[in-house]
Amino acid sequence: MTNKKLKFIDLFAGLGGFHKALNDLGHECVFASELDLTLRGVYKQNWGIEAQGDIKRIVENEIESIPEHDILCAGFPCQPFSKAGKQLGRDDDRGTLFDEIIKILDFRKPNYFILENVPFIKKHDNEETWKYMQDELSSLGYEVDYQIYSPQDFGVPQHRKRIFIVGSLYGLDHFSFDDIDEQKSPLIDIHQFVEEKPAIFKELPKPNQVFLKLWQTFIDQIPKDTKLPGFPIRGMEFGATYPYEKSYPLKLSAKNLGKYKGNFGVSLDGMSKAEQRANLPSYSRVEKVFPNWKRNYIRQNREFYEENKKHIQKIISEIAKSPSQSWQKLEWNVGDGERKIENYIIQFRASGIRVKKADFFPSLVCTNTQIPIIGWQNRYITREEGLRLQSLEGIQLPENDNAAFRALGNAVNSKIVRLIAEKLIQNKSDFISPEAKVKTLNGVIINSQNKKDLVYERTK
């Protein structure tokens, strides 16, 4: 790594995951942008820099206000490419923000860039999005490489896969992700990241605790020699008979649908179509044939119920009283582990109550309703624990907890960035000298009499 202080810019800066990594390596941030007003205030508080606002406006109207820099960093918005979103990609206004990065790279021609996004961006639109990105970056003279990492790869107990894309105007002969891979650690101790007695924490609300006890009773009623389902348990399918194999409920008339049973075995006879709809699982209120995975879940749940209803019928009638269908679903991701919900990491998700092994935390996401719960302490993770999971220890968060966890869910893991930057950012005096060295890179001659005036000529 170079001992020289280099200049970097931090686009879509958020809490400053890139900033922390490069600042710890001794480099200087000369420009930052962040659309969210609250996060701009927090960025100033943490890093002493006034982050600018809408980067599209800046690039369009005053790109020259972005200072010269050696390294461009950007965790550009992932929602257009996330599997959890609508996957609109570049058809989403946020998906075109990559083009603003290209314009800045073209205007300032920094030596390096490090980008971060969700892994699905590589597969989006049959890889057309990724091909477009590669072509744009290469056309500017950058050699590009990428790798997918998760904090858990490096001893941080969070499952959060992200693609890290790097580029260099000087080629990547000096850099290999293999060097980063050598720093992976299979040893993770989640308890080093969990406070035993935090001073400030948010307890799991009593209604949630009560409902977890209902599901614990459900588990306790299953015979020990019966394997707990690995598929998502859908309580509303217990007793249901509505059609799902070759047809779907809403295709039938109210009279014909009245021959069947809906949620938890309630008869649909004599109900209006609107009432019948309300007494069906939300995922069955469709107007097309169910996909195979959904049919499998329904079949598996109904078979499990028939085999075990004498044990679980009473507790299922209590679970049926929940006003939220998401609470009537349980995802037991523990396999043959001890059958105690309180021993594990828990999330209340739209897809159901998820119980997973206490080996690492699920990915922090920008939805504050999915903050992980430490079952053995009956509480949500604290702000400080969230910071540790993103390797952002010591920085300030927004005062509002919801805003804080949204910011953590959007943050870039600083440890991974630092590991990459340590290997990528080298002292380039050996590559480009004031005497105008010329280096050939992928068929492109970089004539560098002055870094500001790089000239690219395609070799024959």
Do 337 and 454 reside in the same domain of the chain? no
Residue 195 lies in a domain: no
Do 117 and 25 reside in the same domain of the chain? yes
* pLDDT averaged over every residue in the chain: 89
Residue 170 lies in a domain: yes
pLDDT tens sequence across 405-453: 999 999 999 999 999 999 999 866 545 433 333 444 444 444 443 443 4
Q: Is 78 a catalytic residue?
A: yes
Q: Give the Å distances, CA to CA, from 74 to 32, 77, 78, 102, 136.
A: 10, 9, 11, 11, 16
Q: Inform me whether the pLDDT recorded for 214 exceeds 90.
A: yes
Do 47 and 112 reside in the same domain of the chain? yes
Do 282 and 340 reside in the same domain of the chain? yes
Residue 196 lies in a domain: no
**Is residue 326 exposed (0-12), middle (13-18) or buried (19+ Cβ within 10 Å)?**
middle
Residue 214 lies in a domain: yes
Do 143 and 32 reside in the same domain of the chain? yes
Do 160 and 242 reside in the same domain of the chain? no
* Catalytic option among 29, 73, 78, 366: 78
pTM, full prediction: 0.84
Q: What's residue 78's pLDDT?
A: 58
Residue 446 lies in a domain: yes
Residue 112 lies in a domain: yes
Q: Inform me whether the pLDDT recorded for 455 exceeds 50.
A: no
Q: Give the Å distances, CA to CA, from 390 to 28, 157, 160, 373, 444.
A: 21, 10, 10, 17, 38
Residue 387 lies in a domain: no
Q: Inform me whether the pLDDT recorded for 456 exceeds 50.
A: no
CA separation for the pair 455, 140 (Å, rounded): 10
Do 177 and 217 reside in the same domain of the chain? no
Number of domains in the chain: 2
Contacts of 119-128 with C-beta under 8 Å, sequence gap 24+, read 119/148, 119/161, 119/162, 119/163, 120/81, 120/82, 120/83, 120/87, 121/78, 121/81, 121/163, 122/146, 122/163, 124/81, 124/87, 124/89, 125/89
Q: What's residue 189's pLDDT?
A: 87
Residue 391 lies in a domain: no
Do 162 and 281 reside in the same domain of the chain? no
Minimum mean pLDDT range among 237-241, 261-265, 444-448: 444-448
Q: Inform me whether the pLDDT recorded for 322 exceeds 60.
A: yes
CB 315 within 8 A of CB 348: no
pLDDT-derived band at 288, boundaries 50, 70, 90: confident
Minimum mean pLDDT range among 145-159, 302-316, 418-432: 418-432
Do 35 and 181 reside in the same domain of the chain? yes
**Is residue 149 exposed (0-12), middle (13-18) or buried (19+ Cβ within 10 Å)?**
buried
71-74 and 345-349 strand pairing: unpaired
Furthest CA-CA distance within the chain: 89
CB 284 within 8 A of CB 295: no
Q: What's residue 148's pLDDT?
A: 97
| One-letter amino acid of 284 | S
φ and ψ of 103, to 5 deg: -65, -40
Do 228 and 104 reside in the same domain of the chain? no
Boundary of a domain, candidates 381, 408, 435: 381
Do 257 and 127 reside in the same domain of the chain? no
pLDDT tens sequence across 101-142: 999 999 999 999 999 999 999 887 788 889 999 999 999 999
Domain extent at residue 324: 206-381
CATH number (domain holding residue 408): 3.40.50.150
Do 265 and 333 reside in the same domain of the chain? yes
Per the structure block, which two tokens stand in for 311?
Answer: 């044990």
pLDDT tens sequence across 45-89: 999 999 999 999 999 999 999 999 999 999 988 554 444 445 444
Mean pLDDT of 260-264: 97
Mean pLDDT of 252-256: 94
